Structure 1
Amino acid sequence: MLRRSFVLGCAATAAMLGAVMLGTVVLGLAQPSKAADDRFITVASTTSTEDSGLFKAILPKFTQKTGIEVRVVAKGTGQAIDLAKRGDADVLFVHHKPSEEKFVAEGFSTERKPVMYNDFVIVGPKADPAHVKGSKDVAGALKAIATAKAPFVSRGDDSGTHKAEQALWKNAGVDPASGDGWYRSIGQGMGAALNTAAAVGGYALADRGTWLSFKNPGDLEIVVEGDRRLFNQYGVMLVNPAKFSHIKAADGQAFVDWLVSGEGQKAIADYTIDGQSLFFPNATDPGA
């Protein structure tokens, strides 16, 4: 009798374990199905679009409309382009037109579309040792900073801002790296460059969007603005699926199309801080 009860008990236990294992298998089979329903794209972009708060403001609107999540990898423009060239992003959204056009020419995208613009500004200490405050001549201001040997902090990170800064120094006829320590290239992002400039009482080039959203200005203020050479254009490109078969072309193109649509352009225009616009949509401007 005891032996029969023991056998029956073992059988019941085995049946229960079998049911549990079957349930686990069923759940395991169901889980990938749920994951497969998740839609997302990866966008390689600049620190300015991320740090300014623009993406936080506009991406939920795109996701709500399409059901597509946007995962942003924010790097300097040069690093973002390299990321896209490796096929590690579906969309590239940066701000250095010559590099963007080269990206298309090399076949990594088939089309660049303009999205928006803002401008660069030079910020510096209120004491203004180079006496450039109020100038609208960026070349003259940079020459004055170099002559005064006033501290200037450069991102030095191959970002769009760094590329623009290098072009401005060249335009001014100044090689800042040949100086005696007043020029400081830190190899970091915009926030770090601004923090360093505030700490040393130095000057720096920043995009206006990041500057307006910067929370630790210290003694810094805008000293040079308004020169047409400080114009800062942004462009967006779908990474070419012919180069990388895993690119999510349909969903990536949906994001590109939304950015340049009336709805996307309005979302960009509506983003402000303290009543000031950080970016200005211009997808329909020829040659932008």
Structure 2
Amino acid sequence: MWTKCAGLIFALALSVSVMPTGAKAEQFIVVQSTTSTQNSGLFDAILPVFEAATGIEVRVVAVGTGQALRNAQNGDGDVLLVHAKAAEQAFVDAGYGLPRRDVMYNDFVLIGPKDDPAGIRGTRSAAKALARIAAQKAPFASRGDDSGTHKAEMRMWGALDPTDASGTWYRETGSGMGATLNTGIAMGAYVLSDRATWLAFGNKADHDVLVEGDPPMFNQYGVIVVNPARHPHVKVAEAQRFADWLTQDGGQSAIAAFTVAGTQPFYPNATPR
């Protein structure tokens, strides 16, 4: 009896040891991305299309762009989909990523209470609107997390440093976009948000889009494959396939087809290679 059991155990162990290394369970990549692509529902819509076409599972880490870049720099991920072009190019120039490609765009919007205590509604300049908020010391909730949205906010403030004021009206949440919107709405504050997250956000209460359309509010997203020369464990073939799909007809069509409450929140604009 023991001889037969031992033989069966040995056969099972042998069958496991010779299992092909390219088994389906290993066909996955880790994408370091932003909270907006996750919170808006974009990934829920487009990733099943990619996975069905390629058999490659995509596992998303949704954090602010700054954190996503740091994670990828440390080798924690195969590919980036983020939205801070200058920081992305610096990542590539430092040798951490393969060439960056545009994928899609949308825009930022300034959200505020409908009674608009700072009087910014309809202002065509985001910088002027922020200056009015600062002058009135009206509550403003900032992500304060080095995300792509936070970086854009800092650019829009321009020469005005909001933290030079009393500090009581300017609150840094250190959180993602959804949490920052929740905080801002609870305190009756103004908030800079990407449009996609705002469209998908459920707790709008009495807040509304007050400022939009200023060129500095343009929001470009890009894809970067992590450089395997820096991190040899990167699944470069699978990551490149994902980047190619995003920037070619399959991914571009999937992005264009995605809507939130009947509105298209992302617009594909990849340039063919």
TM-score tier after normalising by the smaller chain length: over 0.9
Rate the CA distance shift 1:21–1:277 in 2: closer, same or farther, 3 A. same
Please name the residue that 1:163 is paired with.
Answer: 151
Structure 2 contact 109–212 (Cα < 8 Å) conserved: yes
Please name the residue that 1:174 is paired with.
Answer: 160
Please, which of 112, 133, 140 is the counterpart of residue 100 of structure 2? 112
Post-superposition offset of 1:215:
1.2
- Residue-by-residue CA offset, 1:132-155 (whole Å, 9 max, x unaligned): 112222111111111111100000
SS at match of 1:194: helix
Q: TM-score, normalised by structure 1?
A: 0.89
Post-superposition offset of 1:228:
1.0
Structure 2 contact 248–272 (Cα < 8 Å) conserved: no
The whole-number CA distance in structure 2 between the counterparts of 1:159 and 1:146 is 22
Query: Is the helix fraction higher in 1 or 2?
Result: 1
Is residue 250 from structure 1 mapped to residue 234 from structure 2 by the alignment? no
Please, which of 24, 40, 43 is the counterpart of residue 52 of structure 1? 40
Is residue 225 from structure 1 mapped to residue 212 from structure 2 by the alignment? yes
For residues 136-147 of structure 1, the aligned pairs below 5 Å read 136-147=124-135
Post-superposition offset of 1:27:
6.0
Please, which of 19, 23, 30 is the counterpart of residue 42 of structure 1? 30
Give the AA of the match of 1:132: I
Structure 2 contact 104–221 (Cα < 8 Å) conserved: yes
SS at match of 1:241: coil
Post-superposition offset of 1:18:
2.8
Structure 2 contact 84–221 (Cα < 8 Å) conserved: yes
User: Runs in 1 of length 4+ with deviation above 2 angstroms?
Assistant: 14-30, 32-38
Please name the residue that 2:186 is paired with.
Answer: 199
Structure 2 contact 66–148 (Cα < 8 Å) conserved: yes
Post-superposition offset of 1:29:
3.6
Is residue 64 from structure 1 mapped to residue 52 from structure 2 by the alignment? yes
Give the AA of the match of 1:276: T
Please name the residue that 1:9 is paired with.
Answer: none
Post-superposition offset of 1:157:
0.4
- Equivalent pairs counted in the alignment come to 271
Is residue 78 from structure 1 mapped to residue 66 from structure 2 by the alignment? yes
For residues 99-138 of structure 1, the aligned pairs below 5 Å read 99-138=87-126
Please name the residue that 2:138 is paired with.
Answer: 150
Give the AA of the match of 1:107: G
- Residue-by-residue CA offset, 1:66-99 (whole Å, 9 max, x unaligned): 1111111111000000011111111011100100
The whole-number CA distance in structure 2 between the counterparts of 1:23 and 1:215 is 56
The whole-number CA distance in structure 1 between the counterparts of 2:173 and 2:257 is 34
The whole-number CA distance in structure 1 between the counterparts of 2:86 and 2:272 is 17
Please name the residue that 1:6 is paired with.
Answer: none
- Residue-by-residue CA offset, 1:145-183 (whole Å, 9 max, x unaligned): 11111100000000000000011112xx32111122100
Give the AA of the match of 2:50: F
RMSD: 1.8
Aligned-residue sequence identity (percent) comes to 52
SS at match of 2:246: helix
Q: TM-score, normalised by structure 2?
A: 0.94
Name structure 1 gaps, 5 residues minimum.
1-11
SS at match of 1:156: coil
Post-superposition offset of 1:36:
3.5
